[in-house]
Structure 1
């Protein structure tokens, strides 16, 4: 049976910096994902963007990628991350600039739609964000992207998107729903392993 090897290097903004390199050197991978977003993170990114409209994304990701982009390309590993936060287009542009500076040819795509255009969210509200699924990620990968940057997507979308692209699954095809459901489970275990195994439950016994 055809296999897609997906690893994850981040569970939150500020997770271990060296994890990206460790995942790329620790064994064979086809796709490397990184989840940087949580509700608190969106508040932090919202404040960043209020100060500078060009920001609003996880600033650690480009620094991690600078050390590892050539390695990922050499190993044929595609990267999918929601580090774009509130401004995936800006992060995608920064990745393109980084790749050009390093002389590493990569195709970068981004997914928009989770963060509506700036507007009045109500008194005291900084931003509003909708969860997207994996369809946009799948479309980017099918179009040949090496790196896909998104904003707020479900945790599992970082896995269901690459899986759907690789295996040709279609959410509108009832025959593919069981496989997609399995990818949702795999995505949650990859990104939220502690929660998936009960590690956040205070009354374990």
Structure 2
């Protein structure tokens, strides 16, 4: 079976909700460019747009890009879309902020994400990562901090979900910023 064919993007995951709430409560992105990688349905990116950001949604699946743009438009956010596979990511534009919600869990794909962060993050930019406490993501964050000289604000929280059989999820957010600037 082709793992890329599984529509994991078609769900608003607890990590996306938690990250969207963090962005809404803590960031002013007025005049900043934002790239949401693996946008899925685009909740964190849409919230970035509501916080003043100029957003581009990116996913390997055209339906995901289209739905991200549609959801943003429903919320009054103008955005752009980019169809791209991380393994051959050709986008040249650099962004002030990269958003990664529950996408850094595959050790085989993380080197491609690392290359994208190197290539597509502006100098002085920041990266926001959320996940359901996955060990490969923690390792990826440490590698990003080391290679890009970033410092971290980490928030661990519990996301309640009455619709799930689990009832709650543990989510970590990593807000990575240049080491030379004050946190938040």
What TM-score do the two structures reach when normalised by structure 1?
0.32
Q: Which has the higher helix share?
A: 1
Structure 1 or 2, whichever has the larger Rg, is: 1
Q: Which has the higher strand share?
A: 2
What TM-score do the two structures reach when normalised by structure 2?
0.34
